[in-house]
């Protein structure tokens, strides 16, 4: 198997390399691709030096799989070109998520729908992935009618420029700004661009992607907030169900869900936090409690490393899925 990794120098690209090593993903060759400014630079991976190459060269080398993590515009232009050559593309940008002919995949939830004909496979947004990892089994058993979600999102979701801004502000130093406002000791209710409806693109991704992956009938309202955190995204989720439930049933269900870890013991001050989820692949859930203000409703607190399961891990799991299906060898 030959793999091309487009966007290798970015935060997600670097984590994908870590995961290929950690998960012992076998490959015959790997082609590392980045912007023109990085071409020719060396990256040591698994005790071997690889030169960063161009997209043009990578496509001519005929990779079996190409992982795109270089942004929407690169994916829009180049993903179809790789697909036309027979390469299976796994795209981590927003370029193909809502395309009618492209499947939006979280392997634990809907990996079974992939076929050999799927040449471009979309990775959902990080916030959507961690939310649906927890909500999918609940929906399957109790039917979700409505979701109200507020996210508290790590600066790593913006990229290295934002991490640097936070670090500079923490040290009291001036530097390039990723945001319109300081992020240190602040919370900015603004993730991605604003739309005419008053919501941001990030908020609408939670709605649209949930409808595509889970159920188009679910009512959803989202607020996305950027916070001075590096370890991962957190989400406060309120859901209303069609069917009655016991909290013990929800906890048992989530305890038996692959990829989800329940941390919920208020008496011992045990609950998920991004400082502890950093570098881990699981989605953590806690503060599971009934909402007494509305029938058949409950609250959950969901935390995950947005660079891992929210992006890189999900992409690598898609590769593992298509290998298991025999689409590549």
Which residues are annotated as catalytic? 126, 233
Give the span between the Cα atoms of 106 and 18, in whole angstroms.
20
CA distances from 202 to 142, 152, 264, 317 (A): 27, 12, 28, 23
Which one, of 189, 226, 196, 191, lies nearest residue 206 by Cα?
191
Continuous H helices in 23-71:
55-60
**Strand order across the 120-122 sheet:** 29-33, 2-6, 65-68, 88-91, 120-122, 103-104
Which one, of 235, 77, 79, lies nearest residue 148 by Cα?
235
Give the span between the Cα atoms of 172 and 91, in whole angstroms.
37
Find the helix packing angle between 126-142 and 247-255, rounded to 10°: 120
Number of Cα atoms under 13 Å in the Cβ half of residue 12:
27
């Amino acid at each position: 198997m030959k793999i091309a990794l487009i966007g290798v120098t970015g935060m997600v690209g670097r984590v994908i390399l870590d995961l290929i090593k950690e998960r012992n993903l076998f490959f015959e060759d790997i082609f590392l691709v980045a912007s023109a400014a990085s071409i020719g630079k060396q990256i040591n991976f698994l005790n071997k030096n690889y030169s960063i190459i161009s997209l043009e060269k990578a496509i001519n080398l005929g990779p079996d799989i190409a992982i795109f993590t270089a942004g929407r515009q690169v994916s829009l232009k180049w993903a179809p070109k790789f697909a036309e050559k027979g390469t299976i593309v796994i795209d981590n940008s927003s370029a193909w998520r809502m395309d009618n002919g492209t499947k939006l995949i979280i392997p634990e939830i809907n990996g079974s729908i992939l076929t050999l004909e799927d040449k471009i496979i979309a990775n959902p947004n990080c916030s959507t992935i961690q939310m649906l990892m927890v909500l999918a089994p609940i929906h399957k058993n109790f039917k979700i009618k409505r979701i109200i979600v507020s996210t508290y999102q790590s600066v790593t979701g913006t990229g290295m420029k934002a991490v640097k801004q936070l670090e500079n502000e923490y040290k009291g130093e001036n530097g390039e700004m990723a945001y319109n406002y300081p992020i240190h000791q602040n919370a900015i209710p603004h993730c991605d661009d604003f739309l005419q409806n008053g919501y941001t693109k990030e908020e609408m991704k939670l709605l649209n992607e949930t409808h595509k992956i889970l159920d188009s009938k679910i009512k959803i309202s989202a607020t996305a907030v950027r916070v001075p955190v590096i370890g991962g995204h957190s989400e406060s989720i309120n859901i209303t169900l069609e069917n009655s439930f016991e909290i013990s049933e929800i906890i048992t269900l989530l305890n038996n869900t692959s990829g989800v870890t329940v941390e919920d013991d208020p008496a011992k001050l045990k609950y998920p936090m991004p400082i502890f989820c950093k570098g881990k692949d699981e989605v953590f859930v806690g503060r599971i409690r009934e909402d007494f203000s509305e029938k058949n409703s409950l609250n959950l607190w969901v935390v995950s490393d947005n660079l891992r399961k929210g992006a890189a891990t999900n992409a690598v799991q898609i590769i593992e899925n298509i290998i298991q299906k025999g689409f590549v060898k």
